[in-house]
Amino acid sequence: MDSDILIIGGGFGGCGAAYESRYWGRNLNIVIVEKANIERSGAVAQGLSAINCYMGMQWGENQPDDFVRYARGDLMGLVREDLIFDIARHVDATVHKFEEWGLPILKDPKTGRYMREGKWQIMIHGESYKPIIAEAARKSASKVYNRIMVTHLLMDELHSNRVAGAVGFDMRDGTFYVFRAKAVIVGAGGASHIYRPRSVGEGMGRTWYAPWSSASAYGLLIPTGAKMIQMENKIVLARFKDGYGPVGAWFLLLKAYATNAYGEKYEASWLDQIKSLVGKYADTQPMPTCLRNHAMLEEMKAGKGPIYMQTQESLDTMEKEETGWEDFLDMTISQAVVWASQNIDPKERPSELITSEPYVMGSHATCSGAWVSGPEDLAPEDYQWGYNRMTTVEGLFGAGDTVGGSAHKFSSGSFTEGRLAGKSAVKYVKDLQGDAPQVDEAQIKKLKELIFRPLENYKVGRNEIVAGTVAPSYISPLQGLQRLEKLMDEYAGGYSTFYVTNEPLLNRGLELLDMLKEDIEHLGAENLHQLQRAWELHHRILTAEAVTRHTLFRQETRWPGYYYRADHPKLDDAEWHVFTASEYDAKTGDWRMSKLPVHHIIK
């Protein structure tokens, strides 16, 4: 399949890329390839109750400079300010388009403005948020391929650092697809399930970030040699226990508050200890997300758990009660089910809070992802080498979780970043003047054999099984996933160690990852669904190794509450006010780690 622009992933980043690519490239062939179905795919598949990135510039509420300061403060000083400013100055226009397309946005009856949940958030009726945005993308694309698992990116046979397309397979009939393209925009998802989730047994699939987000944003890019940054900047969420229900609306809009088991508000009591770890960053207002986590963790370790959200204190009107329930019913129905099943009426009793397992992503309150070129009018010289949102691989662009350094974009910001990448990709394609990349047929043949090998492994190896699922010659994707989750949880700072790791633990984790990588060459897949799971596992393992190596390289604890280096327990601005970067050589398996400068362009 030939195209001018190939968009991998139909989430908000990919949808934004398709919409804007069509505006600037009226006659271009624009193709979207989506693992699920674009109508209900990506992190917003189940809906949202708020848009978390909106300036309100037309009403003088916030300016892009303000947003950069906020994101910088929350990330303890380390963000790409050029990328965040670029999103902030365009995001309002994106939200206004969403409303035009039919998204119901709540409004303050007194002012007529959008109803604020907090300084940056506005409330929506968002159960159908994704289908509304997907419609715009479908109408913009030349073709949408649903149910295609993209496993690898293709490189130009004449230019080793130039992308040429992608390969994958249809998960319904097994058709092998080769997508040749002049430019590729990766808008795939970040990583859940590289760490062991708190939910176990039949509840294993219940996670905060979408369980189908299988690290393809990174697993596709890393083998190309694209430079990655901040992969150690994992996110841990404070959420309602077991259902992973959101807390934002409860804290910000309903003014609920958290206490320990004895009814004490605990955050302020840990401030002196936090200052001893992070210095001046403890005075940031609002308190950075990771530091609020840290206070909760310390309170639980002190034996004062469980931690409670005092919901009954805030549901004093019918309107507030409806808002509280809709917050879940719009996007996390499981939390409403948990409350019902445990006989919890939030008007009468508080509900437990807990921290989640870690996730790796570039679109929420963290910024793992690819090192990309910034906007021409904003980016410092060493942040700008070509087209906006292009990675260090020529013709390969990113949006959403894929892009590192641009935290706090959420849904509207990811769509906006997709728009920015789409516009740049169109310019790149037009500048090529028909110079299409060349695809090596031998490379394609080799990848096809590799992709379908798990089916052959199973076909041969299943005859050796007498009973059960343990095979002498292959492992299943689930067995591999469970090994990965246990390994990362225990050695790379998961919840079972209170997110603590150190150099010996990380090095041992890398040893075990090497063993796991040897074994996944012998994955067995009994059908196409399991073949999908096999390649999701490949992407997760590669991402997990990047996380482990970045965590080992940064010899400080920059984000207590997300993870801790016990051997380097304090923040160290003198040595580590930098981005960590990695480049992977797929031919040798070697990783090259380095530091990149952090420039503060907003005062």
Do 397 and 449 lie in one domain? The reply is: no
Is residue 22 a part of any domain in this protein?
yes
Do 516 and 427 lie in one domain? The reply is: no
Residue 559: CATH number of its domain: 1.20.58.100
Question: Predicted confidence band at 72 (pLDDT cuts at 50, 70, 90)?
Answer: very high
What is the DSSP pairing of strand 578-585 with strand 228-229?
antiparallel
Do 185 and 43 lie in one domain? The reply is: yes
Is residue 127 a part of any domain in this protein?
yes
Domain limit, last residue, from 379, 400, 432: 432
Do 54 and 169 lie in one domain? The reply is: yes
What is the pTM for the complete model shown? 0.97
The radius of gyration of the chain's CA atoms, rounded to the nearest angstrom, is 23
Do 463 and 348 lie in one domain? The reply is: no
User: What 3-state class would DSSP assign to 34?
Assistant: coil
Domain limit, last residue, from 383, 401, 432: 432
Do 504 and 549 lie in one domain? The reply is: yes
What is the DSSP pairing of strand 351-355 with strand 176-186?
unpaired
Handedness of CA 528, 474, 586, 562 (dihedral sign): positive
Is residue 539 a part of any domain in this protein?
yes
**Per-residue confidence (pLDDT) for residue 205, from 0 to 100:** 84
Do 465 and 418 lie in one domain? The reply is: no
Q: Are 565 and 551 in contact (CB under 8 A)?
A: yes
Question: What is the average pLDDT across 21-39?
Answer: 98
Q: How far is it, in rounded angstroms, from Cα 75 to Cα 255?
A: 24
* Bond prior to 286 in cis (omega within 30° of 0): yes
**Per-residue confidence (pLDDT) for residue 327, from 0 to 100:** 86
Q: How far is it, in rounded angstroms, from Cα 223 to Cα 94?
A: 33
Is residue 227 a part of any domain in this protein?
no
pLDDT in tens, 519-571: 999 999 999 999 999 999 999 999 999 999 999 999 999 999 999 999 999 99
Q: Based on the structure, what is the number of domains in the chain? A: 3
Residues with Cβ < 8 Å from 258, sequence gap 6 or more?
251, 265, 266, 267, 296, 307, 308, 309, 310, 353
pLDDT in tens, 225-275: 999 999 999 999 999 999 999 998 899 888 999 999 999 999 999 999 999
Do 410 and 556 lie in one domain? The reply is: no
Domain limit, last residue, from 306, 326, 355: 355
Is residue 165 a part of any domain in this protein?
yes
Is residue 39 a part of any domain in this protein?
yes
Do 183 and 301 lie in one domain? The reply is: no
pLDDT in tens, 98-113: 999 999 999 999 999 9
Is residue 194 a part of any domain in this protein?
no
Count of C-beta atoms within a 10 Å radius of residue 601:
15
Do 348 and 399 lie in one domain? The reply is: no
DSSP string, 383-404: G-SSSTTB-SSBTEEE-GGGBS
Question: Predicted confidence band at 201 (pLDDT cuts at 50, 70, 90)?
Answer: confident
Catalogue the active-site residues: 52, 117, 208, 239, 327, 364, 411
Q: How far is it, in rounded angstroms, from Cα 27 to Cα 24?
A: 9
Do 317 and 395 lie in one domain? The reply is: no
Residue 68: CATH number of its domain: 3.50.50.60
Is residue 379 a part of any domain in this protein?
yes
pLDDT in tens, 400-459: 999 999 999 999 999 999 999 999 999 999 999 878 889 999 999 999 999 999 999 999
pLDDT in tens, 162-192: 999 999 999 999 999 999 999 999 999 999 9
Question: What is the average pLDDT across 144-149?
Answer: 98
Q: How far is it, in rounded angstroms, from Cα 415 to Cα 420?
A: 9
Return the percentage of the chain with pLDDT > 90, whole number: 92
Residue 257: CATH number of its domain: 3.90.700.10
Do 74 and 17 lie in one domain? The reply is: yes
**Per-residue confidence (pLDDT) for residue 12, from 0 to 100:** 98
Residue 488 has pLDDT above 90, yes or no: yes
Structural domain including 335 reads 238-355
